[in-house]
Structure 1
Amino acid sequence: MTHVADSTTLAVTWRKSSASHAQSDCVECAVLDPHHRIAALRDSKAPTGPALLLPYDTLNTFVAALKQGALK
């Protein structure tokens, strides 16, 4: 896992859940490198802020923990 200081330096298409349109605390996700299975995450309120880069497996584990309520 690593990060970049300015997420606008990444040549990616950012997406967020369609269910989050009324939420102000959203996370956006992008596919950074599909061949090496790397994703990027950033705070939608800070689009020029940092992005976290992580392998798909780590992202899947994180999302599963959120869904189970393990992370609050």
Structure 2
Amino acid sequence: MMTMKPLVTVYITNYNYGSYIEEAVESVIQQTYDNIEIIIIDDGSTDDSKSIIDNFTEKIILYRSIKKIKV
């Protein structure tokens, strides 16, 4: 009988932390546990976060950018 490892989901929240997001994603990817998914929630960053996150599209399951609506 094959035992499956539990899936570990890592949520990363971001708002204008382009200078840290690459290190955060790399840290998750370098873990020895291999059944991991990465979900990034971005709160409408205006820095280079999206372009950095785009470099990891093969590893990131979901990237959601929430646009703030000013009323």
Q: Scaled by the length of structure 2, what TM-score is found?
A: 0.23
Higher RCO, Cα 8 Å, sep 6+: 2
- Structure with the greater alpha carbon radius of gyration: 2
